[in-house]
Amino acid sequence: MQTLREFTRKTKRGNILKIVREHYLRDDIGCGSDLCQYCMQNEAYQLTSQYEIKSTLFKFPHYIVLDTNVVLDQIDVLEEDVLHNIIVLTTVLNEVKHKCSSIYKRLNELIHDRTRNFYVFVNEHHQDTYADREPDETANDRNDRAIRLAAKWYDTHLQASQESKAFQRTARAVTRVVLLTDDAGNRAKAEAEGILVANAAEYVKSLEDFPLLVDKLSQKSFESEKQALPQYPAHLSMKELLDGLRQKKFLQGNFQASRENYLEGSVNVEQYEQGILIQGRESLNRAVDGDIVAVELLPESEWSAPSEIVLEETNVYADDVPSEERVEDEQDMLQQVQAAPAAERTPTGRIVGIVRRKWRQYCGILQPSLIEDTTRHIFVPADRKIPRIRIETRQADKLQNQRIIVTIDSWPRNSRYPHGHFVRSLGPLGNMATENEVILLEHDVPHCKFSEEVLSFLPKLPWTITPEDYAKRVDLRDLHICSVDPPGCTDIDDALHCRELPNGNLEVGVHIADVTHFIRPGNALDKEAAARGTTVYLVGKRIDMVPELLSSNLCSLVGGVERFAFSCIWEMDKEANVLKKRFHKSVIKSKRAMTYEEAQVLIDDASETSEIAKSLRQLNRLAKILKRRRMDNGALVLASPEIRFQVDSETHEPLDVEAKQMRDTNSMVEEFMLLANITVAQHIAAEFTECAVLRRHPKPPPTNFDPLVKAARYQGFEVETETGLQLAHSLDKCVKADNHYFNTMIRILTTRCMMQAVYFISGSLQKEEYFHYGLAAPIYTHFTSPIRRYSDIMVHRLLAASIGADSTYAQLLERKANEELCNNLNYRHKMAQYAARASVALNTHLFFRGKQEDEEGYVLFVRKNALQVLIPKYGLEGTLYLKSDKDGKDGLERTKSELIFTFNEEDHTQRCGNVVFHSFDPVTVRLSLDSSNVQHEKLVFKLVKPYIKGFSVESDNTAVEATAANSQPPAKKTKKDKKKK
């Protein structure tokens, strides 16, 4: 049977177009129930009578039909292995797909899990459940009617099947069908039509055997807050926002909350290079980090400057303070940051509405409530940029010392904090596995096990190289090839060789693991690698981009084993000038896999005359020439404090920590990897002018260099930033005889002025924009690490296609598809970097637990209420607060320090009596771990030298008060506290 669906559409030219579509209806679509005697089931029963849920609302066996809003709001409830025999209508499935792709994916996983008994009923093509849209009926109303129609049909259909005498002899209760909907209008209509119906909250609360499932209900509002006074301005409607954006009254951008000041954030918009500053709770207006927001720009007379104050919300239960007093206190705090010179002020605005929420699941801890026997609690996220979240839970005692996951449901105007609900527990606080899980989740790192479908595309073991493989590749097994990597490296991407040719020139080869031989385009393994984007390295843990069989075995260029490689080979003269180059797929057999230290020893040992030693010495000599040439072209030598941990093999806890050492061999490998990347970039850009995958490093805007230029000028140095070459020369001159670490600190500051390097497609930009600023290279890409970077896999495919070593395919040349891949890669690389830093911070805290050490350091920045101190020995950076305060019993009391530190805006110094702190000044600090805040353990920096009476700690080994008070930023005493006294 078929029906016609007609509708009209207006074209761009104003013509009316009538569109007629045929819609086929069938009578052979099964209901999926094992109770049915009428349907021809074309698959195993999904709805079975073996599951019976005990509900006080419906005291009989029942199936559940879900409305769309229940799926969208209560997916966390549905994912619990509690509800079975769920009917998912195609109407609902399609609505969820269009409204939220992430929830659609989660729903699909439930549907494909046979143990959960979720059955998809194709109601849109069943002749008894199809609902044609009526005149003047909205699409939403039509869909609601279709859901009710299907629920009514299911109930009637199943009751008819249970009227037989055979069923009645079983004495079993009749199974009915219940519709769950949170739409009040839809529910009222369902009740009028005689359908069994309930909302999600009522139904979950009625489940006798699962009382804790209530915790997972989406919380739009709390009863006690419904009559509360508004604390924020109302958001404009979507129509008002769109009209305002169209008329240029508002600007649209991505909101980024500040980590250091909870009353500050910024919105990145195209029109303003540095974004629009947002200050104050009302101006922030319930925006959460990552949201797409609409901003109204304030008049220039009301513009402010970014604060240099480190401000944390110390009072978790701030709702207990009367709102008038709290507003007054916050205004007092804002006055400190708004009183800035006109020259330092930047565009400032206020958020008038949310265009699109970017809420996700958040990791953190439950804050103990001040009220006994309450179900309402405050959740404190691990990410400082996320506000506290109010949740309801009946298992607070159990969750007290656990890391948990919470999601946001809503943020009403009358609530200081957003409302959310508990999702699941990750494990005990402080447990290494739990803390690593938090890091991975918070940085959106895909880390689940590879699926069976992905693993099915791996080669079967034992794997061997066949004669056909040898015939297609260049045999380089006789060359003295070796690899040089960090200690413990098992995913060896690259190997090198150098030999003298009969004509006196040198042949230099870079051999890269041929991962694309094993990962073919478009299969599940390729898609998974593309989604992950990069391997993520935590301390003592690696999250692979590709399965371990490839990363640590078949692709890894381990010593003494034949492996497939993609080789880039140059002929050079003795001065490292490239005379010829060639690329080919090869078979290699690395003669030795070495660490940087082992390779350095081999080079330095004059008695060592092996071919490998000779090769390494030549490579090292050439690398120094290549590096000097790059420096002369304006390449930058930057610095960042990096540390290495020795980890216990059983507990995975850090045993020792030290700053990473850089040897000549590090630079040697780096130079040839850079040369290979540049050589390949030139080749693929010439071959594929519109779709080559390249990497660029944009030149920073001049304002980015302001902190560097000011800091250097205070020390008597002028830093020129007009070109990379000028900057490089300026950095070389920043040397102080009495401070050997000064130049390194200047380079660390320079690193922080840089823009992020990004992947892009050649056809999307002009050639002048290909430039890599940090390397001073006109063109660049990534070719040398395909085991751990998907970008390199894309480049390998392009290079192979260009030399005829592999066939091309449609998506390889699709610019739009590759641009989307590049966007994902840029995001994944950024998150991987942040995750690695968070892992280092976690292990640093574990290392200092129960210890205190006095270490020499340097002042990196001077802030209004703190010094940013760098400890070279450990590569650590931390905040030394210049004013002390003491927590009162309720977290509100504050007593000011008698010591007065004066901040000088002009030369960025702090003075206390005769002691003046400048950037780059040497200091001695005492390091210890403050564990009073279990959510945010932090290293406490206390001043030892220069000695300030009443502020510095004694330099001997006597016990020191290790209270959280001395490490906290200043906060005001509230009027409520004064009244208490």
80 pLDDT above the threshold of 50: yes
Query: Do the Cβ atoms of 315 and 892 come closer than 8 Å?
Result: yes
315-319, 372-376, 714-718: the lowest-pLDDT one: 315-319
Q: For residue 886, what pLDDT is reported?
A: 37
Pairing status of strand 16-24 against strand 693-696: unpaired
Residue percentage of the chain with pLDDT more than 70: 87
Distance CA 742, CA 740 (A): 6
Q: Which of 37-51, 408-422, 798-812, 818-832 has the highest mean pLDDT?
A: 818-832
184 or 972, higher pLDDT: 184
Q: For residue 218, what pLDDT is reported?
A: 86
Nearest to 824 by CA among 547, 527, 437, 544: 527
Write the CA distances from 363 to 329, 366, 439, 642, integer angstroms.
Answer: 30, 10, 9, 26
Q: Residues near 521 by Cβ (< 8 Å), separated by ≥ 6?
A: 797, 809, 811, 812
915 or 678, higher pLDDT: 678
Q: For residue 3, what pLDDT is reported?
A: 65
Q: For residue 334, what pLDDT is reported?
A: 61
The whole-chain average pLDDT of the chain stands at 85
Residue 659: which pLDDT band, with cuts at 50, 70 and 90? low
Q: For residue 958, what pLDDT is reported?
A: 37
Q: For residue 881, what pLDDT is reported?
A: 84
Distance CA 250, CA 382 (A): 32
889 pLDDT above the threshold of 50: no
Distance CA 240, CA 273 (A): 26
Host H or E run for residue 749: helix 742-751
**Mutual angle of helices 706-714 and 742-751, in 10-degree steps:** 160
611 pLDDT above the threshold of 60: yes
Burial of 856: CB neighbours in 10 Å, binned 0-12, 13-18, 19+: middle
Q: What is the dihedral of CA 267, 268, 271, 274, to 10 degrees?
A: 90
Write the CA distances from 891 to 316, 670, 935, 955, integer angstroms.
Answer: 8, 51, 16, 31
Q: For residue 979, what pLDDT is reported?
A: 39
540: left (phi over 0), alpha (psi -120 to 50) or beta: left
> Average pLDDT in the 112-129 region?
89
Could you tell me where in the chain the CATH 3.40.50.1010 domains are found?
23-208
One-character DSSP codes across 925-949: EEEEEE-SSSSS-EEEEEEEES--T
884 pLDDT above the threshold of 60: no
Give residue-wise pLDDT tens across range 708-753. 888 888 888 899 988 889 999 999 998 988 888 888 888 888 888 8
Q: For residue 328, what pLDDT is reported?
A: 56
Terminal CA-to-CA distance of the chain, rounded, Å? 82
Could you tell me where in the chain the CATH 2.40.50.140 domains are found?
849-980
Enter the CATH code of domain 219-223+230-428.
2.40.50.690
Could you tell me where in the chain the CATH 2.40.50.690 domains are found?
219-223+230-428
Length of the chain: 981
Q: For residue 315, what pLDDT is reported?
A: 58
Query: Do the Cβ atoms of 15 and 24 come closer than 8 Å?
Result: no
Residue 5: which pLDDT band, with cuts at 50, 70 and 90? low
Nearest to 859 by CA among 956, 946, 735: 946
619 pLDDT above the threshold of 90: yes
Q: For residue 614, what pLDDT is reported?
A: 93
Q: For residue 514, what pLDDT is reported?
A: 95
Distance CA 442, CA 447 (A): 12
Q: For residue 150, what pLDDT is reported?
A: 94
Distance CA 72, CA 94 (A): 12
> Average pLDDT in the 883-888 region?
42
Q: For residue 960, what pLDDT is reported?
A: 38
CA 479 to chain centre: 43
Residue 664: which pLDDT band, with cuts at 50, 70 and 90? confident
Distance CA 934, CA 839 (A): 17
Superfamily of domain 23-208: 5'-nuclease (3.40.50.1010)
Distance CA 593, CA 602 (A): 13
8-17, 158-167, 443-452, 760-769: the lowest-pLDDT one: 8-17
Q: For residue 415, what pLDDT is reported?
A: 87
Kindly report the backbone phi and psi dihedral angles of residue 764, in degrees, each rounded to the nearest multiple of 5, phi listed first: -90, -10
Both tokens of 752, joined, read 């922080």
CATH class of residue range 849-980: mainly beta
Give residue-wise pLDDT tens across range 92-109. 999 999 988 889 988 988
Residue 885: which pLDDT band, with cuts at 50, 70 and 90? very low
291-300, 630-639, 871-880: the lowest-pLDDT one: 871-880
Residue 320: which pLDDT band, with cuts at 50, 70 and 90? very low
Host H or E run for residue 9: strand 2-10
233-247, 519-533, 941-955: the lowest-pLDDT one: 941-955
Residue 972: which pLDDT band, with cuts at 50, 70 and 90? very low
963 or 273, higher pLDDT: 273
Peptide bond just before 486 cis, omega within 30 deg: no
The total of other beta-carbon atoms located within 10 Å of residue 354's CB is 21
Residue with token string 């005001």: 972
> Average pLDDT in the 285-307 region?
89
> Average pLDDT in the 809-833 region?
91
Distance CA 157, CA 153 (A): 6
786 pLDDT above the threshold of 70: yes
Residue with token string 């999307």: 764
325 pLDDT above the threshold of 80: no
The total of other beta-carbon atoms located within 10 Å of residue 936's CB is 15
Write the CA distances from 869 to 38, 872, 925, 953, integer angstroms.
Answer: 77, 10, 9, 16
Q: For residue 484, what pLDDT is reported?
A: 93
Query: Do the Cβ atoms of 279 and 264 come closer than 8 Å?
Result: yes
Give residue-wise pLDDT tens across range 686-716. 999 999 999 999 999 888 888 888 888 888 8
Three-state secondary structure along 901-922? CEEECCCCEEEECCEEECCCCE
Q: For residue 961, what pLDDT is reported?
A: 38
